[in-house]
Each structure stands twice: as structure tokens, then as C-alpha cells.
């Protein structure tokens, strides 16, 4: 599996971005299929744990999000 930015600067969440539960935060390519990855929580992205086009593993954390209270 590989993380990709879909040619659009806004298709990947970055540190400081506010995200809502269910919002697409990145796109993962797996076996030539593009999969939209959504946030499990509402909050602010405080860390991006992977690089664009990095090979990733199943269940690997992609972002660290500070949840809103």
C-alpha cells in the first residue's frame, strides 16, 4: 500500500488542519485502487506520521489528531 496525494494540494491533511469525523484526510493506493481514508475523530492534526508515496502497512498510524472536547 502506498500513500498518494491525488495531484491536488488539498487532498492530503497537514499539521494544523482541522478535521471532522468522516472527512477524507488522504488517499491510499492499494493494488492500483485509490482508497479515501477518513478521520475517525473530530479535532486538529498535530502530526503526520508518514510521507507521500511511502509504503505503509495495514493498521499503521498515519496521523496524530488532538480530539476536540
How far apart (Å, rounded) are the C-alpha atoms in residues 34 and 25?
A: 13
pTM of the model: 0.76
The three-point CA angle 59-51-56 to 5° equals: 30
1, 28 contact by CB (below 8 A): yes
pLDDT tens readout for residues 57-66: 888 898 999 9
Any bridge partners for residue 59, and if so which?
none
Question: Is residue 51's pLDDT more than 60?
Answer: yes
The three-point CA angle 43-17-54 to 5° equals: 105
Amino acid at each position: 500500500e502506498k500513500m498518494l496525494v491525488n495531484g491536488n494540494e488539498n487532498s492530503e491533511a497537514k499539521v494544523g488542519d482541522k478535521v471532522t469525523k468522516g472527512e477524507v484526510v488522504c488517499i491510499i493506493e492499494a493494488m492500483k485502487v485509490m482508497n479515501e481514508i477518513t478521520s475517525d475523530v473530530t479535532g486538529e492534526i498535530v502530526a503526520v506520521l508518514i510521507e507521500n508515496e511511502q509504503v505503509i502497512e495495514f493498521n499503521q498510524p498515519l496521523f496524530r489528531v488532538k480530539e476536540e472536547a
